[in-house]
A and B are shown apart, each in its own frame.
Chain A
Amino acid sequence: MSPRTRAWLVAVGGSGLAALLVAACFGLPEFGGDSHPYGDRAVEASLAHRTANTIASVNFDQRAFDTLGELTILFAAVLGCVVLLRQTRDEHRARPRPAEVDPPVRRYALLVLPVALLTGLYVVAHGQLSPGGGFQGGVVAATALHLLYLGADYRALERVRPVGLYEVGDAVAVSAYLVTGVAALLGGAAFLANTLLPHGTFNTLSSGGTVPLLNAAVGMEVACAVVVLLARFLDQAVEIEEESGT
């Protein structure tokens, strides 16, 4: 197809889609309206299970089964990246050279690293109380480790990041989520139902029943997944080189 025909096709299809979208916008419920039946019921259910952060309650209590699907997507995507970005026959691994880092960058990175790691763990642990949770905190914790790559060099990062261990951690975390669900089943309730643990006192760290447990499992899975993903991409950029002369 010539670029000209394609431009025409995009223009015609795009304007049609735009017209439909604009028409749909005028058919949507009024912006800022007061009618949110699902939202009101979600808030009630969350308060009944003494979970202060309603979004955590929706994700890990009311829609816990959907979150299992989401975790599976993440797991499968990481698996796909690991398979796609492995070293092929015509490539070899070059040992990365030690890199020079400006002292201010090094100082700042090493100073912020523990703070960022702690922030990540805090966000995971307080997922049922304040905005945040396993997904957000896991990403913060995983990226905190990579400050070592900015502040020192790739070899320093490799020393604190045995990728194999994180791959195992990823799988263990998904299994932990499943096991929590099965435990509810053994307790005579539905799969992943929040009946296993007492719901605790509202607005304390141990409130929300299984929500903190599932949050922790998700936090571990996301942190491990992000570390493994970034490791594969960094390997491609830093270590794996094409065989010369082939």
Chain B
Amino acid sequence: MDVFAYLVAAWIFLAGCYGLATSRDLIHAVGCLSVCQSATYVLLLAVGYRDGATAPVFSDLEPGARPVVDPVVQALALTDVVVGATVTALLLALVVQVSKRHGTVDPDELSELRG
């Protein structure tokens, strides 16, 4: 059970990679990239977990009364979410343009060069 959370993160990452490699649709590929990224959330939060601990927020908790989970990885997960969302937006904008210029979003049909 000790490594279960880490294995879940690895599994999610590999599932996303499989989707990316076999994707026939660019929007589907962008979704798969988000799946890959969500593996990092699981990994970060698993690394920061501490048995019997609570959230590192002291507005309703006496400091030192209970152990808290690692706040550094939670802040990293927040950064991760923001960067993930912006990358997804940028990639979807690219897909919109690809679809307009080439009339397709299948990566296999996009092999020819067009000036």
Contacts and interface: CB of A to CB of B under 8 A. Distances in A.
A237 to B, nearest CB: 9
A67 B49 CA distance: 23
Contact of B17 (A17, A33, A53, A81): A17
Interface string B72-93: 1111001101110011011011
Interface stretch (A39-47, A117-125, A172-180, A181-189): A39-47
Interface residues of A, number: 58
Contacts, number: 153
Contacts of A135: 78, 81-82
Interface stretch (A55-63, A93-101, A159-167): A55-63
A158 interface: no
Given A31-B49, A34-B51, A85 B93 contact: yes
Interface in B15-58: 17-18, 21-22, 46-51, 55-58
B18 A55 contact: no
Contacts of B6: 24-25, 28, 31
A131 B57 contact: yes
Contact of B7 (A22, A29, A77, A129): A22
Nearest to A32: B51
Contact of B56 (A7, A25, A26, A55): A55
Contact of A70 (B57, B82, B87): B82
A81 B70 contact: no
Given A14-B18, A42-B71, A74-B86, A54 B2 contact: no
A129 to B, nearest CB: 5
B59 A52 contact: yes
Nearest to A203: B59
Interface size class of B (residues with CB under 8 A): 35 or more
Nearest to B53: A32
Mostly, the A contact residues are: helix
B48 A55 contact: no
B72 A38 contact: yes
A229 interface: yes
Sorted nearest first, the 9 A-B pairs with minimum C-beta distance are A39-B70, A77-B86, A25-B6, A54-B71, A21-B10, A54-B56, A58-B75, A32-B51, A84-B93
25 contacts: A14-B18, A25-B6, A28-B47, A36-B48, A36-B69, A42-B72, A43-B63, A53-B56, A53-B57, A54-B57, A55-B56, A55-B57, A55-B71, A55-B78, A58-B75, A59-B75, A74-B82, A74-B86, A80-B90, A84-B93, A129-B57, A130-B59, A131-B55, A202-B58, A229-B89
Interface of B: 1-7, 10, 13-14, 17-18, 21-22, 46-51, 55-59, 63, 67-75, 78-79, 81-83, 86-87, 89-90, 92-94, 96-97, 100
